[in-house]
Amino acid sequence: MKPFFIWVSIPLEVTLKIPQKEIVKKISVSEKSSIGSIITDLGYDLDTIVVLNNDKPIPETEKITENLTLTVLEITSKG
């Protein structure tokens, strides 16, 4: 009998903080998600925010890890 593997996408929990709106919430995302995909799914334009992890900016291409806490700072408006 040959071994086989089943690929299962396990959702990861991410804590999202948006200080300007006083929002702190936990969201579930796919383990294949990136910071950029989460931010765009939330309706933000990547040109108008800075994403921090442990008070340090992180790139939008960074992959999601378990128990990540992201702080989203809105820096400009589209208006």
Question: In this predicted structure, what is the pLDDT of residue 31?
Answer: 80
12-74 CATH pick, 3.40.640.10, 3.10.20.90, 3.10.105.10, 1.10.760.10: 3.10.20.90
Q: 74 near 48, Cβ under 8 Å? A: yes
Helices (H), the chain: 35-41
Digit-by-digit pLDDT tens for the chain (79 residues) are: 666 655 556 778 889 999 988 999 998 888 888 999 988 998 988 888 999 998 899 999 998 888 889 999 988 655 5
C-alpha 18/C-alpha 53 separation (Å) is 12
C-alpha 67/C-alpha 14 separation (Å) is 6
As a whole number of Å, the end-to-end CA separation of the chain is 63
- CB atoms closer than 10 angstroms to residue 33: 18
- CB atoms closer than 10 angstroms to residue 61: 9
Return the domain boundaries, the chain: 12-74
